[in-house]
């Protein structure tokens, strides 16, 4: 496994219940500030294998970025079950629910 992939998985595993991080935020913490798309790929390929809390990762606007209707619904449901509110615009308020992980 590549070091960047290991760091991304480790960071995602630390996101606490009821909080979210963005793809870009995770990429930057893992050492690649422009690697948000890589984070998407890693989440897609590794969420089941490493039991990642994939639902706690949103885009830079606080939106659910998954296009598949069923997965979008599940992400929204899981976030709401953890107490994360999505506004009328479907966005998570990153100032309220955003998690600031540290190296």
Give me the architecture of the 3-97 domain, per CATH. Orthogonal Bundle (1.10)
Give Cβ neighbours of residue 66 (< 8 Å, ≥ 6 apart).
Answer: 72, 75
Within 10 angstroms of residue 22's Cβ, the number of other Cβ atoms is 22
pLDDT in tens, 48-73: 999 999 999 999 999 999 889 999 99
pTM: 0.93
pLDDT at residue 88 is higher than 90: no
Q: In whole angstroms, what is the distance from residue 89 CA to residue 37 CA?
A: 23
Min mean pLDDT across 6-10, 16-20, 86-90 is at 86-90
- Comparison of pLDDT for 67 and 83, the residue scoring more: 83
């Amino acid at each position: 496994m590549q070091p960047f992939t290991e760091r991304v998985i480790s960071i995602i595993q630390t996101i606490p219940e009821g909080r979210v991080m963005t793809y870009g935020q995770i990429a930057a913490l893992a050492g690649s500030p422009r690697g948000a798309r890589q984070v998407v790929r890693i989440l897609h390929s590794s969420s089941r294998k490493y039991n990642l809390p994939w639902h706690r990762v949103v885009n830079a606007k606080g939106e659910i970025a998954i296009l598949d209707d069923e997965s979008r619904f599940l992400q929204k449901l899981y976030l709401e079950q953890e107490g994360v509110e999505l506004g009328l615009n479907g966005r998570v308020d990153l100032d309220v629910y955003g998690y600031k992980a540290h190296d």
